[in-house]
Amino acid sequence: MAESRARAAALSCDQCFFRQRNLCALGIDEPCPTFRPDSPAGLLPPMQPSLLEKSDRLGPPVATVPQAQVA
């Protein structure tokens, strides 16, 4: 968590894609949740978390819902 704070402190609105292109409507001087770094490639989507395979190490669920009996 301290690493994300340090990274956020190193960023500034002057590095934001929206501020560089005069598209920012906010009057604040700190990076906002919509901050996207400006790059020569243009607007890049934010990094997505990687998908992890479901682990069976926890075992089966403790409580299960009983199945309905079909006559």
Q: Which residues contact 18 (CB under 8 A, 6 or more apart)?
A: 24, 34, 36
pLDDT at 26 (0 to 100):
86
pLDDT at 34 (0 to 100):
85
Task: Decide if pLDDT at 3 tops 60.
Answer: no
Determine the Cα angle at 29 with ends 23 and 33, to 5°: 65
Residue 59: helix, strand or coil by DSSP? Answer: coil
Query: Is residue 17 within 8 Å of 37, Cβ to Cβ?
Result: yes
**Distance separating alpha carbons of residues 19 and 30, to the nearest angstrom:** 11
pLDDT at 35 (0 to 100):
87
pTM above 0.75, yes or no: no
Distances in Å between the Cα of 19 and the Cα atoms of 23, 28, 32, 55 are: 6, 11, 11, 43
pLDDT digits 0-9 by tens, 5-43: 555 568 888 888 888 899 988 888 788 888 888 888 888
